[in-house]
Structure formats: structure tokens, C-alpha cells
Amino acid sequence: MTTLETPAPLTTGRPGLRPPRIVASRGAPRVRRENTLPGVVVAEALGADVVAVDVRVTADGVAVLLHDETLGRMWGDGRRVAEVSWCDVARLGNGLDRIPRLDAVLERLAGCSASLVIGLADPADAEAAVRTVAAADTGSDDTVRVAWRGTVAAMTAVRSLLPDADVWLPWDTLGPPTSAQVRELRPSTLDLDVAFLIPATVRAAHTLGLCVAVWTVDDPEPTRWATRLGADLVLTEDVATVHAVLAAAERDGWSRPVREPSEAEVAGRAQTLAHRIAHEVIAFTREHRIDPDAGDAAARVAALDRSIEQHVRGRVRAVFPEHGFVGEEYGVAPGDKHRWYVDPVDGSRNLMNGVPWTSTSLCLTRSGRPLVGVVADPWRGEVLEARRGRGATERDRVLRLDDAPRPLAGAVVGTELDGTHPWPGFAAFVDALAARSCAVRIPGSGTLTIAQVAAGRGIGACMPAFDPVDHAAAVLLVHEAGGVVLTLDGPVDDFPPVGAPFLAAHPGAADELFAVWTAAVAGAEPTS
């Protein structure tokens, strides 16, 4: 039987498309405050088929609508809701914009056409939430239909308390659900971030008899794209927009736009998007800086890696839903002729040990040729970006390397190890440069080491093997800044072959540095 780990292929689109059901995420947060009774009412009035809310439990066991563990983000109170009584929670806010009890929401939706899906993050909250739903079930036709979504642990708790529950199985940051989880939870629906939506996943879910729910879809093209792939439900914070898009597509047809955007149009939009993503990643990385003395640093770095890549994929999907991906954490996602390469944290060993030298890289290619590359340095707060044929910049500074000859004496050359080992010829390379009074540095992030050449910091950098996930954006930066990229066979215009050693250099030092490097790799010291 097909499993979610080994999905069968699926072609995009299907005959006789039917619009997915619209799920209002957290009510109607574009109109009213999220997870409030007015938000639920507005979502139902706007035509949502399902209203999705988040539930937490107070210190005295009352199930209330709240997404976060604490009351700080939405209600200005930094305490954990699990430590606050219902009476104190009820005092927050003003007028109708208050935290409602779950039973009040169930009462308000009774007799309405919209059903309710309850999100749980903490399995400890499941008992109170299930008890509240059971108390509201009158057995009549007016009783609200309820489904459940959230973490695997929370859904396991719901299933144990409510054997007949309608459970959604999440595709979380650790990867796809396992066959064991499908057997144990008996879900009706696969619940996944739009970042992970691909045709094969839809086919696998449908083969297993599961519906597919996708979150969060707020824009027209991702809405049409998710529908063409066969999504059964779309979770959105903008019910009105998604409703209008689906109605128009149902009226006019689901075909793609007649005119394909030009390479220049795609590159321009992609550069703007990549720039914004880079600044978001910088803020996120600095906010989640790893304390090496806090314990389990490796697990926290891995979690940060996954969170950043998931965020990047989701942001790109919202603008370019049909583009493909290759990522450090989540591998390959098929797409059209465009493909994004993303390395969420290059220099994870540095991050794990509190060394502020890491980077995030993002590169868009079209039919294998680079279009846009961005390298984000969280610790300097810098975003180095390049667009094919348009040069490279850092903030308002144009990155441009002159053609003047540059001696190796007194210069710095960057490199990285091959994993944790020196690459072949490494010792000879260091010795040859030392004889020329040129220093070698091993900073610990290949992406950032190469990007520094484009920024004019250091005279060159050499890497043991090209990997587009790690190096594509930085290589484009060097090219667009006027630098030279070489393999052992000489200069390359786009990317080096995958796995090939390569050198990035200032044009004024490229010839001499290339001679030193190739001689060291070949095992012979070059003549002076």
C-alpha cells in the first residue's frame, strides 16, 4: 500500500475541479482580533465552511480560545494561561474583544452551516477541551460538527479520550507522518503547511483515503494552485479574498494565466521577495540565538534549521507556488523551470558553539542558470544580494571589485574544511601562501566565506566541493561583483559542476592564487 513516506506520483490538475472548503484560520484576523467571538462570527458571515480556533486551558480547567502558550502577544500579559484563572483571563481586553470560552463559541455556532476545528498544541489541554465539546453535544441537528487538529501528541490524547473523534494528522517540522501514526490516529485529513504541498503528497494522502488541508493560503495564485493540485480544504486568514478567488475561478475556469511572465519580471519580484525573507531570517535567528551552555544545543540548532527553511518555503510559495525547491533540511520539491536553493543555517557548528559566523543563503535559478542570490549574515545584520546582469549590493553599497593587480603578500584567503578534515592539498596550499606572506582563514561558513570575496573582504576563497544548496547564492554574488570563479580546469561563467573544488577570487589576484591552488592540489609547489 502507498504510504506517506513513499508517495506515488501525481500530475498537476485534475478534470472536474471542485473548489476546496474554506477554513477560517483563527476566525477572521484580518477583520477582528484572532480567536475571539466577533472573529468567529465574522468568519461564518463571510462564508467560511469551517472555522478553525486554537484552544488552551486555564489554571482552573476552563477551555478558552488562545493560540500562544502565554497571554503576551495578543493580550499584553506575559503569564502562561495555564497559570491564570478564568476570572483573571476574562478581565483582559474590552467590550466583545475578549478571550472567549470554548463553550461560548460552540453555543454561537449551533445551528450554523459552518463546522468547527479545534487546534491543540498541548496534550494536557485535551481533556478539558473534549469535556467541553461533549457537554455541548445535545444530539440534535443543531449541534456543531467538530474536528481536531494540532500536534501528534495532542491528537493522540484526543483519540484516547474520544474514540470517534474526527482527527487531522499534522505534517510537522520533523517531516511527514509515519504509517504507524496513520494506523494509530485513524485521521480523516492530512494537515500540512503550504510549504510542503507537492503533487506527490496529495496523491499519497488521497490513496490512503485522507483529505488534504493546506495552511496558510491568503493570496490568489496559491489558492488556485492548491486547488489544481487537489487540496480539499484551505486554511486562510483572509476568507473574503479566497472566497472571491474560488468563485471567479469556478466561473472562468482554473487554467493558468495565458501570458508567462518574462525572466526579468520573475527576477525582479524574486529579488524583492528574497530581500524581505533575508531580513526576516536575520531577526528570527538573532531572536533564537543558541546558548551553548543551556544544553542540547545540537537539537535546538536542528530545530532552528527546520523552522527557517519551512518559513522560507512558505514565503516563496505565497508568491511563486509553482517553483521548485532544493533545501538542506527538506530536500527536493518539484516545480516548473524555476528552482530555489536554500540553506537555512550554514555554519551550524559555529551556531551550536556560540560563534557568530553563520549565514542563510537563497538562490533562484531558471533552467539551471542563476537569476537571484541572497546571503544573509545575522550577526552583522547584512544582506548581500545579486541579480543576474544587474550587479551585487549590500544595503546602498554597490559591490564592485576593480581589475587592479593585487599582491598576495599581506592578503587574506578564506577556505573551509572538507567536513572536519583538510581537503587534498590543504597543507601545501597553506604553506605556499605563508611563503608569500598571505594568511589563510577557516571561518566555518562556506557561504559567508565566499560572499566576503564579493564584498571586498579578503582576496579569495576556495572550497573543497561545490554544492548549489550551500554555494549558489555566494557564487552569483562573486560573479556579479566582478570576481572570478574557477575550477581546476579554469574559469566558469555560471556554477561549477556539483562536487567540484572551486576558487572565488578578486580579479587582480586570480591568476596567481589559481596557480598556487592548482599546484597544491596537484601536489607540486609552483615556481615563483
**Whole-number pLDDT of residue 176:** 80
b/e code 382-410 from CB counts within 10 Å (16+ = b): bbbbbbbeeebbbeeeebebeeeebebee
Task: Report the pLDDT value the prediction gives residue 1, as an integer from 0 to 100.
Answer: 25
Q: What is the pLDDT of residue 468?
A: 97
- The residues that bridge with 149 in the sheet, in sequence order, are 119
By the 10 Å C-beta count (0-12 exposed, 13-18 middle, 19+ buried), 297 is classed as: middle
> What's the CA gap between 114 and 22, in Å, rounded?
10
- For 520, residues 6+ apart whose C-beta sits below 8 A from its C-beta are 425, 426, 428, 429, 432
Q: Give the pLDDT of residue 95.
A: 86
pLDDT for the residue 524: 54
Whether the model pTM is above 0.75: yes
Question: Peptide bond preceding 216: is omega within 30 degrees of 0, i.e. cis?
Answer: yes
Cα distance between residue 403 and residue 482, in whole Å:
8
Q: What is the pLDDT of residues 202-212, one digit of tens each?
A: 999 999 999 99
Check residue 140 and give its pLDDT. 79
Per-residue confidence (pLDDT) for residue 177, from 0 to 100? 85
Please give the Cα distance from 167 to 230 (Å, whole number).
20
Q: pLDDT value at position 525? A: 52
Question: What are 56's strand-pairing partners?
Answer: 64
Rounded to whole angstroms, the Cα distance separating 267 from 388 reads 8
**How far apart, in whole angstroms, are the C-alpha atoms of residue 347 and residue 349?**
5
Q: At what angle do helices 239-252 and 220-229 cross, to 10 degrees?
A: 60
Task: Of 62, 101, 104, give the one whose Cα is nearest residue 85.
Answer: 62
Contact call for residues 358 and 351 (beta carbons, < 8 A): yes
Q: Using alpha carbons, list the distances in angstroms from residue 258 to 247, 253, 341.
A: 19, 12, 27
- Domains of the chain, first to last: 24-252 (3.20.20.190), 265-399 (3.30.540.10), 412-522 (3.40.190.80)
The pLDDT of residue 257 is: 60
Instruction: Identify the H or E element spanning 181.
Output: helix 179-185
**pLDDT under 50: residue ranges of the chain:** 1-15, 527-528
DSSP category for residue 431: H
Cα–Cα distance for residue pair 528/514, rounded to 1 Å: 13
